[in-house]
Chains A and B, each alone.
Chain A
Amino acid sequence: MKFDLDKLNKVFDNRIRVGIMSGLMVNESLSFNDLKEYLSLTDGNLASHLKNLEESQYITVTKGFIGRKTNTTYSATEEGKMAFKQHLTYLENLIKELK
């Protein structure tokens, strides 16, 4: 898979988006409330970053219900996972250069 490195860097330039992706790398899916709690964010702030990741096609959204309450869950796409790994390699290289 070929990567648009500009897009990748732009998406992962933000700590919150990196945080969301970190969670989704190690969990099959996470709900909106889980993410909100783990990252200690407000609804609006989290929603805008999720929107950004969704538009970059790094995550998918599943809307469901638990009883009557809506339960929206998010999962990383294959593209998102590969992009995140790419970003990790990029960070590692930056650290190696320092040494």
Chain B
Amino acid sequence: MSNKAIEDLAQIKTMMERSTKFLSLSGWSGIWVGLCGLIASGILYIWQTNSLYSYQDLTLNDPYQTTYNAFNLLSLALITFIVAVTGGFYFTIVKTQKQGKQFINSLTKRLLIRFSLPLVVGGILCLLWYKYNLLSFALPTTLIFYGLALYTVQEDTVKEVKIIALLQLLLGLVSFYFIDYTLLCWAIGFGLIHLLYGIILWNKYDKQN
């Protein structure tokens, strides 16, 4: 009778978790997003060291230079975002399907809506920085708003997300202060942290399967 009680309680706990948290986040998603982040940082670094495409020049009031670089920067940002998000979703959707679950349900819809809001606000803010010729604030802004987006969904998914959120926020603030080291912070935040957490998540949740 008591053994049945223990099993019952375990089942209650599982059901409560399953109906409130999305736990099928794949480690491969983190690894993929991390690699995208590192490659994008590498490209930015090459542009930065090449005087023609100097990232610092973006703050100068040279219209030709600004539009040209901003176009490159925006394309890179968009391509990185699309490639990273597509791959990130792909690995997680595959994992959900392997577990015989549907990816889209009311839980994941709520999670995605919560997650998107800070990202959209941050994206608009980046465009506003461009309007005021303050594009060097764009990278720290993406770190901060991405951190906020992760923080918003911490209750809805694996607990590691909260730690990543706090690290991104910290890096965002640091890179606002040390504006010369923005790219380094960004490479750590979007590249290294994702890569490491992807490996940690994979090790913890995916390895045995």
Residues of A within 8 A of B (CB): 15, 18-19, 22-23, 25-27, 30-31, 33-34, 37-40, 88, 91-92, 94-95, 97-98
Contact = CB atoms under 8 A, between A and B. Distances in A.
A31 B106 contact: yes
23 contacts: A15-B8, A15-B11, A19-B11, A22-B12, A22-B16, A22-B19, A23-B18, A26-B19, A30-B106, A33-B105, A34-B19, A34-B106, A34-B107, A38-B18, A39-B15, A88-B9, A88-B12, A92-B9, A94-B1, A95-B2, A95-B5, A95-B9, A97-B2
B105 A37 contact: yes
A38 B8 contact: no
Contacts of B5: 91-92, 94-95
Nearest to B21: A26
Interface of B: 1-2, 5-6, 8-9, 11-13, 15-16, 18-20, 100-102, 105-107
B21 to A, nearest CB: 10
A37 B19 CA distance: 10
Nearest to A98: B2
Contacts of B19: 22-23, 26-27, 30, 34, 38
A99 B18 CA distance: 29
Interface centre among B8, B9, B101 (most CB of A within 10 A): B8
A37 B108 CA distance: 13
B92 to A, nearest CB: 17
Given A23-B19, A33-B105, A37-B105, A18 B2 contact: no
Contact of B8 (A18, A37, A97, A98): A18
Contacts of B107: 34
A27 B8 CA distance: 19
Contacts of A91: 5, 8-9
Given A15-B11, A23-B15, A39-B15, 14 more contacts: A15-B8, A18-B8, A18-B11, A18-B12, A26-B20, A27-B20, A34-B107, A37-B101, A38-B19, A91-B9, A92-B9, A94-B5, A95-B2, A95-B9
